[in-house]
Structure 1
Amino acid sequence: MSDFWLYLQLGFNHVLDWNGYDHLLFLVVLVSVYEFTDWKKVVGLVTTFTLGHMISLVAATFGWVTVSPTAVEFLIPVTILATAIYHLLKTRKTGAELSIYGTYFMTLFFGLIHGLGFASFFRSLDESAALPLFEFALGIELAQLLIVLIALVVGFVSKNILKTSSRDWTIAICCITIGMLVTMLAETWPF
């Protein structure tokens, strides 16, 4: 039973590690357009993201897929940038937006990329059994839900108490994130 808590905590702490703030950025940008009343969509998106990185985590851990860590480290901030730009474009209300199914597909695809980043960490544990992998993923999911809850609370306070419009909130989150990504993209530039 202690192994369960060990891998759960490893997954939980891995997401909350400030050295890997890219995961936090992705989640905050992903939910920047949602309200508490959208909680079912938000939980669905977070779980879809987890499913995506679970698939690639399993595939990479068991050697079914091999991808250059350099490419993965660059693609992770690209997924965050793409999400931020997409949400910024949605605030203009002039372009077509993805259906909810398109949003889920995009989130799943980006989860696949992020999972490849988790795989290098998980392989460093020298573990290749399925159960610890799922325990690790459960820890990731719980940490993600915590991050999303905090992001929604901060958004609620900003929108309802400080009277920031939803549009301005989304623009601010996306622009701050893009600013933070410039350094990350420069550091991981593979060419």
Structure 2
Amino acid sequence: MQDFTFYFKLGWEHIISWDALDHILFVLALSAIYLLKNWKQVLVLVTAFTIGHSLTLALSVYEIIKIKDSLVEFLIPCTIVATAVFNFFQKDFEPRNLRLNYFLALFFGLIHGLGFANTIRFMLAGDQSIGWSLFAFNIGLEAGQAIVVLCILLLSFLIVNKLKIKRTWWVWTLSAIAFGVACKMIVERWIG
């Protein structure tokens, strides 16, 4: 149980910390087009992201795939930019018209999972129960994402439903924030 708690906390902190800004920005861009009433769809969406994330973490821990950290760190903000740009071209925000988002979440989750792979690989190297530890990490990650999504959806409820700001403007504002910060990360990671 002690290992479960350790890896759960590690997964939680992977999203709920200032160091996880790129992760939070991706969840922000992914969730921007949804409202509180769509919470089930968003939960499925972030779960698809976690599945992709988990898959590459597991493949990396077992050293089936290896990609240079610098490339992964560059690609992560690119996923944020792509998701934000996708949001700008949406005309209908109904969940049935946003099925491509599930694929994007899963695919981009694969890339994000590589970003933490080297760190967790070293932690798990001597661990006898890699599967249990990865499970705990992913449960912590999912819990953290659920909190971030809940905050975004509650804020969207306040802005769109209560303050009556046009939904398109709200989506574009969140997407522009994610886009701008991610572009800055791309430049920093390309040069650095």
Q: Same fold (TM over 0.5)?
A: yes
Contact 1:4/1:135 (CA < 8 Å) preserved in 2? yes
Aligned 1:4-23 pairs, distance under 5 A: 4-23=4-23
Which residue in the other structure is 1:65 paired with? 65
State the secondary structure of the residue aligned to 1:65. Answer: coil
Pairwise CA distance, 1:161: 2.2
Counterpart CA distance in 1 for 2:28 and 2:144 is 13
State the secondary structure of the residue aligned to 2:89. Answer: helix
Contact 1:46/1:141 (CA < 8 Å) preserved in 2? yes
Contact 2:39/2:153 (CA < 8 Å) preserved in 1? no
Pairwise CA distance, 1:49: 0.4
Pairwise CA distance, 1:31: 0.8
Gap regions ≥5 residues in structure 2: none
TM-score by length of 1: 0.91
Pairwise CA distance, 1:19: 1.8
What amino acid maps onto 1:76 in structure 2?
Answer: I
Which residue in the other structure is 1:134 paired with? 135
Identity %: 38
Runs of 4+ in 1 over 3 A off after TM superposition: 98-101
Counterpart CA distance in 2 for 1:71 and 1:40 is 33
Pairwise CA distance, 1:103: 2.0
Contact 1:155/1:169 (CA < 8 Å) preserved in 2? yes
Counterpart CA distance in 2 for 1:161 and 1:106 is 30
Which residue in the other structure is 1:54 paired with? 54
Question: CA-to-partner distance for each residue in 1:1-58, whole Å, 9 max, x for gaps?
Answer: 1221111011101211202200000001101111111112111101000000100000
Aligned 1:1-191 pairs, distance under 5 A: 1-91=1-91, 100-127=98-125, 129-189=130-190
- CA gap 1:36/1:82 in 2 versus in 1, 3 angstroms: same
What amino acid maps onto 1:41 in structure 2?
Answer: Q
Q: What's the Cα RMSD here?
A: 1.9
Pairwise CA distance, 1:99: 5.0
Counterpart CA distance in 1 for 2:141 and 2:67 is 21
Contact 2:52/2:110 (CA < 8 Å) preserved in 1? yes
Pairwise CA distance, 1:100: 4.2
What amino acid maps onto 2:138 in structure 1?
Answer: A
Gap regions ≥5 residues in structure 1: none
Pairwise CA distance, 1:190: 6.7
The number of residues matched between the two structures is 187
What amino acid maps onto 2:101 in structure 1?
Answer: T
State the secondary structure of the residue aligned to 1:189. Answer: helix
Contact 1:74/1:190 (CA < 8 Å) preserved in 2? no
State the secondary structure of the residue aligned to 2:165. Answer: coil
